[in-house]
């Protein structure tokens, strides 16, 4: 059977451990040998015990654990060819020629570059005398399969990234807690949520919690948003609302790309509406903690699919990324998915917000 490595990379997200568990166990069930790469790409470069063979019981109970138990890192060594050559040699050492990686778009792009470069890395191992032609006969191709782990839900081509629903759940719980104290004092709260350049967490939290106003990067508010927001908040107060909740995505900006911060919103609410206002930045509580049932399920089904994709790959197969589209687990070309994601960012930069919104909804159009 094949020798398959699984790795988590980039920011951790709830569900990553469920991925590792599913890959390890499905590999064993398929007659393959699974390995876990510890500390992301750094583990590939360091080799040795950082690339560890995994047994069935090594991942027992992992599906309910938050973060990533095999660690993750932003690795500088892997950025240069010398580091990648060492990584390739370490993989050959363990007999591994398939890598399943769970991470964000940056980590997945890196993985596909590694695949493209692999044959030339093998040539270099031979020409530098580290390995013989014979030794590398069965290592001519590296198999990469991507899984999207991120709380941001920022990858086009998939309806949900592994971790986004756990994070959304945590945000909603936090806003429920804040609601109680806001109600008591009739206060306003401005809540900053994560998501990098993506407004999904902010928008869905707004819908789920009944926020008064939401600010997201893809669909910035109108030119005179300050007055608009204040009059909406005033209207809600007149209707008898005792509390005000405004959600600001960390990547929020106006239509000219000037950053909109939680503090700016707070100043408006206190000075223009006269509300006693507090700012709460939720921070990394949105990222840690146990995965919700949906993320455990998504990660498990996608981990299983990733192993199947490895076993069905032909030497010239493009790297796939495992997605979920309209409730079905599907494989898509990794590079396409990343290109579409980059397009959204580019459209925001160009201030073409309509295109940016359409880009986020790509999965519904296909
Ligand atoms: O991508 C996940 C994320 O939590 C983003 O929402 C946020 O912008 C970023 O990572 C924070 O990064 P760091 O881990 O460096 O604080």
Q: Can you tell me the mean pLDDT for 173-185?
A: 98
Measured in angstroms, how far is the CA atom of residue 196 from the centroid of ligand 1?
Answer: 7
pLDDT > 70? residue 212: yes
Strand ranges for the chain from DSSP E = 3-8, 33-37, 51-53, 98-103, 143-148, 188-193, 213-215, 244-249, 277-281, 320-325, 328-333
User: Cα of 39 to ligand 1 centre, how many Å?
Assistant: 17
For ligand 1, which residues put their CB under 6 angstroms from it? 11, 104, 150-152, 194-196, 250, 287
Catalytic member of 46, 152, 154, 212: 152
What number is the average pLDDT over the span 196-200? 96
Mean pLDDT of 284-311: 98
Distance in angstroms (rounded) separating the CA atoms of residues 155 and 227: 33
In this structure, the number of other CB atoms found within 10 A of the CB of residue 102 comes to 37
Count of CB atoms situated within 10 Å of the CB of 64: 13
Residue 183 scores a pLDDT above 80 = yes
Please give the Cα distance from 51 to 361 (Å, whole number): 38
Query: Over the stretch 124-167, which tens digit does the pLDDT of each residue have?
Result: 999 999 999 999 999 999 999 999 999 999 999 999 999 999 99
Q: Which conformational region is residue 291 in: left (phi greater than 0), alpha (psi within -120 to 50 degrees), or beta?
A: beta
Per residue in 76-122, pLDDT tens?
889 999 999 999 999 999 999 999 999 999 999 999 999 999 999 99
**Residues 138, 107: Cα–Cα separation, whole Å:** 26
Distance, in Å, from the CA atom of 110 to the CA atom of 288, rounded to the nearest integer, reads 24
- Residue 3 · residue 95 · CB < 8 Å: yes
Residue 69: the pLDDT is 98
Residues in the chain: 366
**CB contact at 8 A, 360 and 344:** yes
Provide the pLDDT confidence category of residue 364 given band limits of 50, 70 and 90. Answer: very low
Helix then strand count (H, E) for the chain reads 12, 11
ipTM: 0.97
What pLDDT was estimated at residue 363? 44
Task: Give the residue carrying structure tokens 């270099």.
Answer: 124
From 196, 203, 204, 247, give the residue whose CB has the most ligand 1 atoms within 8 Å, as the site to mutate. Answer: 196
Residue 316 has a pLDDT of 77
First vs last Cα of the chain: how many Å apart?
36
Q: pLDDT for 112-125, tens place per residue?
A: 999 999 999 999 99
Asked about 152 being catalytic, the answer comes back as: yes
**Closest residue by CA, ligand 1 atom 15:** 11
């Amino acid at each position: 059977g094949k020798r398959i490595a699984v790795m988590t990379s980039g920011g951790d997200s709830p569900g990553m451990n469920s991925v590792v568990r599913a890959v390890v166990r499905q590999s064993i069930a398929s007659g393959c040998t699974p390995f876990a790469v510890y500390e992301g790409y750094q583990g590939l470069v360091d080799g040795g015990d950082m690339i560890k063979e995994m047994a069935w019981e090594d991942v027992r109970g992992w599906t309910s654990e938050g973060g990533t138990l095999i660690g993750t890192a932003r690795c500088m060594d892997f950025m240069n060819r010398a580091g990648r050559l060492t990584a390739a040699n370490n993989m050959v050492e363990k007999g591994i020629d398939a890598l399943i990686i769970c991470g964000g778009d940056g980590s997945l792009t890196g993985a596909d570059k590694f695949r493209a470069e692999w044959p030339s890395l093998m040539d270099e191992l031979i020409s530098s005398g580290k390995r013989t032609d014979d030794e590398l006969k069965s290592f001519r191709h590296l198999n990469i399969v991507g899984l999207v782990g991120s709380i941001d839900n920022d990858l086009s081509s998939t309806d949900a990234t592994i971790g986004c629903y756990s994070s959304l759940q945590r945000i909603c719980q936090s806003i429920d807690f804040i609601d109680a104290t806001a109600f008591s004092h009739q206060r306003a709260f401005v809540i900053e949520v994560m998501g990098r350049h993506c407004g999904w967490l902010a928008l869905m939290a707004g819908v789920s919690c009944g926020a008064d106003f939401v600010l997201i990067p893809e669909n910035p508010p109108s030119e005179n948003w300050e007055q608009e927001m204040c009059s909406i908040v005033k209207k809600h107060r007149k209707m008898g609302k005792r509390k005000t909740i405004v959600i600001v995505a960390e990547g929020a900006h106006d239509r000219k790309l000037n950053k909109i911060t939680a503090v700016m919103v707070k100043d408006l609410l206190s000075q223009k509406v006269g509300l006693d206002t507090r700012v709460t930045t939720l921070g990394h509580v949105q990222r840690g903690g146990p995965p919700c049932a949906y993320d455990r399920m998504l990660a498990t089904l996608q981990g299983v699919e990733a192993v199947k994709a490895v076993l069905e790959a032909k030497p010239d197969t493009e790297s796939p990324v495992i997605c979920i589209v309209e409730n079905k687990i599907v494989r898509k070309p990794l590079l396409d998915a990343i290109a579409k994601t980059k397009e959204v960012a580019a459209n925001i930069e160009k201030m073409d917000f309509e295109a940016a919104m359409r880009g986020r909804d790509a999965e519904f159009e296909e």
